[in-house]
Amino acid sequence: MRIAIALSAAALLAATATAGSADARGCVRGAVVGGVAGHFAGHHPIAGAALGCIVMHHHYASQRRQERAWGHHHHY
């Protein structure tokens, strides 16, 4: 039940991501991982999902800034 709530929260957070599909995808990935980790670590899947979304959103935003600074994209 709590995982379903966390996944719902992840979907909501992803829908509010404004910077693009990479950020939304990162938010969903982070929210799912954070929700599951929060569920097993301390029974706080919603907080884990929110934190995971924020962390991955920041990661993709930083990555995008670096790519713009270098003037090209790295795809490994």
Tokens at 8, concatenated? 């719902």
pLDDT tens digits, one per residue of 12-40: 655 555 456 666 777 788 888 888 888 88
Contact 50, 9 (CB under 8 A): yes
Compute the Cα dihedral for 17, 19, 23, 25 and give only its sign. positive
Interior CA angle at 55 toward 18 and 66, to 5°?
Answer: 75
Side-chain-facing half-sphere of 52: CA atoms under 13 Å = 28
Q: Where do we find the tokens 């790519």? A: 67
Per-domain boundaries in the chain: 2-70
Enter the pTM of the model.
0.60
Q: What is the pLDDT of residue 9?
A: 62
